[in-house]
A and B are shown apart, each in its own frame.
Chain A
Amino acid sequence: MSGVVWAVIRREYLQRVRSRWFVIATVAGPLLMLGLILVPALIASRGQEADRQLAVVDRTGVLYERVAEGLERAGYTVERADDGTDVEATLAARIESDEIGGFLVLDQATIDRGHARLTATSRPSIVRQVAFQQILVQAALEARLGGSDPGVRALLDGGDLEVSVVSDGGVGFDDAAFLASYIGAFLLYMTILLYAVSVMRSVLEEKSNRVVEVVISSMRPFQLMLGKILGVGAVGLTQLLIWALSGALIVGAGIPALLAANPQFAALSEFRQFLPGIGYAGLFAVFFVGGYFMYSGLYAAVGAMCNTDEEAQQAQFPVIMLLMVPIVFVTQVINEPNAGLSVGLSLVPFFSPILMFARAAGGAAPLWQVGLSVLGMAVTVVVIAWVAGRIYKVGILMAGKRPTLPELWRWVREA
């Protein structure tokens, strides 16, 4: 690559990376992520110790083991309280002194109709109440059925429907895959748009600063456009890399360290499963680069044919529409990743960055389809570079009104 392109890349890159905006956005991203993880965890773990300590008074003689097991699975610490005349008063006093969070009294009514009494410092949430009831009903049924039979528990758990699929279409993702592809698709949409628009602004700035003519006298317009796109793209990759690394650091190192020091944050360890793997990051990078090259080329052309931000706002409309289509379809595609429509749409180069990524991130797209979409994007990038380069070449020196479509076509033909 020639020296002038490097000079342009360097200028675009350094000017952006040194800007206050970049520093703030880059630092704010991981901080926001940290906040999203820590705040719920802190709320969840607040006051946990005493509240989660339960005493169980079992007057049936058969329920305690089963109930205690259920409660422990739900995260409670359970102790057996020996029955006596004033046991309830004693336990109430222990609640008062914050030793335990509450106590549960089980008697014949529990076995008969699932009734039990819970005395606690505060009313548990509906979700917890339902969980308590399930534990009680399950224990009661097991007791009645004489239940060492593991089948009873499976039945009580709601059974298990095994799905096997003969055709290609219609398998949804499990929760983790759904989340991974959904979040990733939106992140791709946002970052591609953000940096492609940034290229447009840069073109506009050179036009309105009127610095472009002197720059263009030292290099070909295409070199300037290329340098600009590569420079801004490098900024995008830098930012994503910093975010990915700090995310990995937080989830991979930060949280285990936190857990080691503060075991009460145990709930945080669940975030581990959200840490995307190298494959996911690589997929993201490939589709970011492909999408960014396509859309930044289009945006460079839009910038070149406009003179003001207001004009550009209007002129970018068709490009935005192109980027909105996959966002409109993304939920449907994730729900039915192998339906004909999903496969078709995800193979359209302009939609691939979002839709093919969404399918591939959930593991639904065969490798050949991913490869085909990457090839499609590569070809599109070349075509866009050719067309946008010509529009750019004529447009950057053009003042006055925006070209009409026929005029634009003439630019492309004659440039």
Chain B
Amino acid sequence: MHDARPAVRLRGVTKRFGSHTAVDGLDLEIPRGSLYGLLGPNGSGKTTTIRMIMGILHPDEGTVDLLGSDDPDDTRRRRVGYLPEERGVYRKMKVLDFLVFMGEIRGVPRGEGRRRAGDWLDRLGLPEWADRKTEDLSKGMQQKVQFIATVLHEPDFLILDEPFSGLDPINQDVLEEIVRDFHERGTTILFSTHLMDQAERLCQRVCLISRARKVLDGGLRGLKVAERRGVLAVAFDGPEAWLDGPGVNSREAVGDAIHLLLADDADPQAILRRGIDAGAVIRRFELVEPRLHEIFVRHAGADAAVDAGIPRDRVPVAGGVS
């Protein structure tokens, strides 16, 4: 039953639109059963990558291997559930009819589709909406209906492009819970987001991309351990000008501490000495496990961090990455 081959394997995949390179030489492997995050700022190539996995776009170079299948079209249709970032509903259709149709085009017989759709509407608290038109739904409810449409054919591989965008926190929790639930039942899940905190909460493995290129990928735990040298948490009283100096790329307030993102050749001892010399009273000085977006900023650079929507004033560059 268990298949050791990855759910998706991309090798050297490149996609260009005219003179613009949307994805540049991307290698990616998504293990079966994993909950995998594809992270990067808007415009970094996430959606293009996903569209190539879904066969909607075709790579100019490289290969895409999906579930080791010889008939990728049929595999996509029957075994993959895809929730695109650009998602919508047929506005004049009734909710139940819409769901049955979405199931039907993925090979679920109409009767079976009707039954499953009913169950899902019950589960997500929308049973009384079955016979209403989809245009009457609120945005959050529409998103739930779209999610149901994505999973109605019980796929073994879920691809969710920015699944939580535009959801209020309560509905976000509901959907996160369902995503975890699918993960526990063994479904492979690839989801993309530009929100690092969310990925950190959900994912086991991540791939960070920026400006069409992969920055790094791997298991979240491993990455964090490997990056442990990179972030210094300090707390102190007194002046703070000493924070900006050699070895410190950027800083950010996290709770009552300040996180310093260190350059590769940084010497924490020298930074500590600089603080003491400046007259600061140090209360905490500790190498800490970095947060995902700190890893991202460290590797992709501050400009990419700005792309990612991290405000510039939180990443003052001081003699670090040029």
Contacts and interface: CB of A to CB of B under 8 A. Distances in A.
B107 A3 contact: yes
B176 to A, nearest CB: 21
A291 to B, nearest CB: 27
Given A218-B105, A219-B77, A211 B90 contact: yes
A273 interface: no
Contacts of A27: none
A234 interface: no
B90 A214 contact: no
Contacts of A211: 87-90
A4 B105 contact: yes
B191 interface: no
Nearest to B149: A214
B118 interface: no
B56 A209 contact: no
B90 A220 contact: no
A212 B107 CA distance: 18
Contacts, number: 64
Given A15-B92, A15-B93, A210 B105 contact: no
A346 B113 CA distance: 49
Given A11-B101, A397-B56, A218 B89 contact: no
Contacts of B107: 3
B104 A7 contact: yes
B106 interface: yes
A4 to B, nearest CB: 5
Contacts of A3: 104-105, 107
A217 B93 CA distance: 20
A213 interface: yes
A372 interface: no
Contacts of B101: 7, 11
Contact of A214 (B73, B93, B102): B102
A174 to B, nearest CB: 48
A71 interface: no
A28 to B, nearest CB: 21
A210 B86 contact: yes
Contacts of B54: 217
B84 interface: yes
B73 A220 contact: yes
Nearest to A213: B84
Contacts of A95: none
Interface in B205-248: none
Given A15-B93, A216-B56, A218-B76, A7 B105 contact: yes
Given A209-B88, A213-B86, A217-B82, 19 more contacts: A3-B104, A7-B105, A11-B101, A15-B93, A205-B90, A209-B89, A209-B90, A210-B87, A211-B90, A214-B82, A214-B84, A214-B149, A215-B105, A217-B54, A217-B76, A218-B77, A218-B102, A219-B77, A397-B56
25 contacts: A3-B107, A4-B104, A4-B105, A11-B101, A15-B90, A19-B92, A206-B90, A209-B88, A209-B89, A210-B87, A211-B88, A211-B90, A212-B88, A213-B56, A213-B84, A213-B87, A214-B82, A214-B84, A214-B88, A214-B146, A217-B55, A217-B56, A217-B84, A219-B77, A220-B73
